């Protein structure tokens, strides 16, 4: 899969709820329930569904390298 295909697939789900699994540094795995907010040239943003409603950004290469897994609902 190419970055362009990943970007197109993600952009089809703007405004929808998604589940994220992020493999961070030092083998720390983070799970998020979020809403896909915006798609940009190099990154996309999500709003995490927690008490702070924080916004996080991820790159398409995170998905390509399996650092980030996205489950569309």
Question: What are the structural domain ranges in the chain?
Answer: 3-72
To the question of domain 3-72 being in CATH 1.10.287.3510, the answer is no
pLDDT string in tens for the chain (73-residue length): 899 999 999 999 999 999 999 998 888 999 999 999 999 999 999 999 999 999 999 999 999 999 999 999 8
DSSP assignment of 26-73, as one string? GG-EEEEEEEEEEE-SSEEEEEE-STT--EEEEEHHHHHTTSEEEEE-
Tens of pLDDT, residues 31-51:
999 999 999 999 999 999 999
């Amino acid at each position: 899969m190419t970055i362009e295909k990943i970007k197109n697939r993600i952009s089809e789900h703007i405004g929808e709820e998604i589940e994220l699994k992020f493999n961070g540094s030092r083998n720390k795995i983070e799970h998020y329930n979020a809403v896909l907010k915006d798609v940009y040239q190099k990154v996309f943003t999500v709003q995490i569904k927690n008490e702070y409603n924080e916004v996080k950004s991820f790159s398409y290469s995170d998905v390509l390298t399996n650092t980030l897994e996205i489950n569309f609902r």
